[in-house]
Amino acid sequence: MSQQNTATADLDDDDFYDEDDVDCWCDNPDIDLLEGRASCYQCGRRWWLTNEQLSREIELQAALIECIEVEQP
């Protein structure tokens, strides 16, 4: 779990919520495995995952679940 917030050198607080200039990396999207769709809560962008991305996400989720189950008493 890595959450990196790159420090921005230029401070432009005025147009922080400028819709025409969305500068979002979408590096932490919400992923709906059932629908195969990803959505970014930061900029509201939504897109479909490719089969390759989807199977990779499913593997990641499965690995996470395994880890959680192992930690259970």
Residue 27 vs 66, nearer CB to Zn ion: 27
Residue with the two structure tokens 């922080």:
16
28, 32, 39, 43: which one contacts Zn ion (CB under 5 A)? 43
Distances (CA, A) of 17 to 4, 13, 40, 55, 58: 20, 9, 15, 34, 33
When asked if residue 46 is in the footprint of Zn ion (CB under 5 A), the reply is no
User: In angstroms, what is the minimal distance from the CB of 26 to Zn ion?
Assistant: 3
When asked if residue 40 is in the footprint of Zn ion (CB under 5 A), the reply is yes
Residue 29 in contact with residue 39, Cβ under 8 Å? yes
When asked if residue 42 is in the footprint of Zn ion (CB under 5 A), the reply is yes
